[in-house]
Structure 1
């Protein structure tokens, strides 16, 4: 059955790619691509995990993806005859004074955050790897929390990094000079270091996703995206993805992940384990969590803390499961959350909503008239790509991103963009 699932999802991927005119970052292309990759990773472990997908698992995944794609195709049909205006390429220039102040803020925020994390981790004692593993466990599942100042510092650092990444991607696509604007990638390195020191890797994935999406969207906006170069784009993305996955695996010990698997087994488990886990969930649901809520978890948490609703049983961390004696983790694809709270109908409804949301947003971004130089809505779109790229691993859009924190990040983005007030210089096509 897993081979049938792979063929069906691959067919959906090819259909989506064709229908969207070979635009490889179109929402239905992305979601089908990540599921194709996840299913292939699961197939690699078909014997060691004893994978025997049920018919219902295949049905739910295929219908869910089909619901997303059909709603996307409707949006595409609506916008198909609306031309995408080619914008003249421009370079974003920030004054030296504002750049210096921006970097001072970056270093101060990073220092505050890293110092507090280091102080807490140091208090566990023992070797670094064990101390980091204990910190991660207490931070995720226990009562360990960072101070308000440290949390806000990390948010400011994150927003500034997103803006700098935006500037770098825009300027390199506008001019074709990849090295000239490398200074704008320094915040990426700083945020990456701060993230690793806190035992996390999710922001690294988000930065990588935003980097790819920004580059290709700017190419589309400036009329530099060549459909004939599709294979070249795919090879570049695959190449960068392999390098990223190697790095992702290599730093596992630095973030407290105590897993001794080789790199192929580790990555295939991280990427493909969710397919097998979703099947195990459907066969053996956790009865103890039947009355708890998975979707809208972060939003409910905000409302509870603000006193708008009474305490509610939330599932912030799903149960860990084994397959053939091998621990696969606790991620079950996005479909688990929808099914758990709303059943099979929920899978269809939420996938239709996501399909319309991402596809409309995507079409708007291609036609965005950005007169200020740095667009907050563009950056927000890049942020919201993370749930789409991780759809095959776990649900994030409704469970994690629909919350107060996302609006705070957007608000900070608008404030910092307003402060920078960049100057724009038109360039000639390269």
Structure 2
């Protein structure tokens, strides 16, 4: 049964990825990007492959880790930015270091995958530690959400499905996982959870 369930999820995810790839160029044109010069799968190959090429360029042309103004300044950007705005942390000209890349006259943008800030701040050792930490946190919340059947909208499921799972999916593009752990995001998740429980509790009482 578990094998069939996993197979079903893999098939669904694969199908969704294929659909997204086919709609990628159309959606880019729809929002105003000039993609008419690209033929066939050329735009898809650039869009999907740019992250890898940009990361490769960074690895081969830079000495890292790069020590900036504060510990983990690229990895924990959201937390540090919150501290600057609300806790009085004084860091002049603090921003993400994401330079745009051009290879053979083709613009590859400034997307480097989630590994870029980890390498930037902590080097190869940091990649291992941060990957393990991400895996442990994700597994803990997934296990808790699977066991929690007491409430209709347990916060563990909301946190995993609404925050953790999407950040893992988008790790191919950027450091969404560690950027999600900021005070504002957590407060929004808590408010949504309270609203869900209030609404569903009333609905459950009407049924009973």
TM class by shorter chain equals 0.7 to 0.9
Counterpart residue number, 2:44: 267
Structure 1 distance, partners of 2:5, 2:193, is 35
Q: What displacement does 1:258 show?
A: 2.9
Retained in 2: the 8 A contact 1:249–1:266? yes
Higher relative contact order structure (alpha carbons within 8 Å, sequence separation ≥ 6)? 1
Counterpart Cα distance in 1 of 2:197 and 2:141: 23
Hey, what does 1:279 align to over in structure 2?
A: 56
1:340 aligns with 120
How far the C-alpha of 1:357 sits from its partner, in A, is: 0.9
| Distance in 2 between residues matched to 1:257 and 1:341, nearest whole Å | 33
* Cα deviation digits, residues 72-114 of structure 1 (max 9, x gap): xxxxxxxxxxxxxxxxxxxxxxxxxxxxxxxxxxxxxxxxxxx
Q: Which runs of 5+ in 1 are unaligned?
A: 1-224
Q: 2:23 aligns with which of 247, 250, 268?
A: 247
Q: TM-score, normalised by structure 1?
A: 0.42
State whether structure 2 residue 145 is matched by structure 1 residue 365: yes
Q: Within the alignment, does 1:390 sit opposite 2:170 as a pair?
A: yes
Between the two proteins, the alignment pairs up a number of residues equal to 199
Q: What displacement does 1:303 show?
A: 0.8
Cα pair 1:332 1:394 within 8 Å, conserved:
yes
- For residues 307 and 235 of structure 1, the distance between their equivalents in structure 2, rounded to whole angstroms, comes to 46
Give the match for residue 184 of structure 2.
405
Distance 1:226 1:355, change over 3 A: closer
Structure 2: state its 5+ residue gaps.
Answer: none
Compared CA separation, residues 312 and 375, structure 1 to 2 (3 A): farther
**CA separation of 1:365 and 1:315: change in aligned 2, threshold 3 A:** same
Q: TM-score, normalised by structure 2?
A: 0.81
d(CA) in 2 for partners of 1:230, 1:307: 45
The structure with the largest alpha-carbon Rg is 1
Aligned to 1:416: 195
1:249–1:263 CA contact under 8 A, matched in 2: no
CA distance in 2, matches of 1:239, 1:315: 37
C-alpha distance in structure 2 between counterparts of 1:407 and 1:231, whole Å: 33
Q: 1:346: how far off?
A: 1.4
Partner SS state of residue 319, structure 1 = coil
Quote the Cα distance in structure 1 between the aligned partners of 2:111 and 2:29: 20
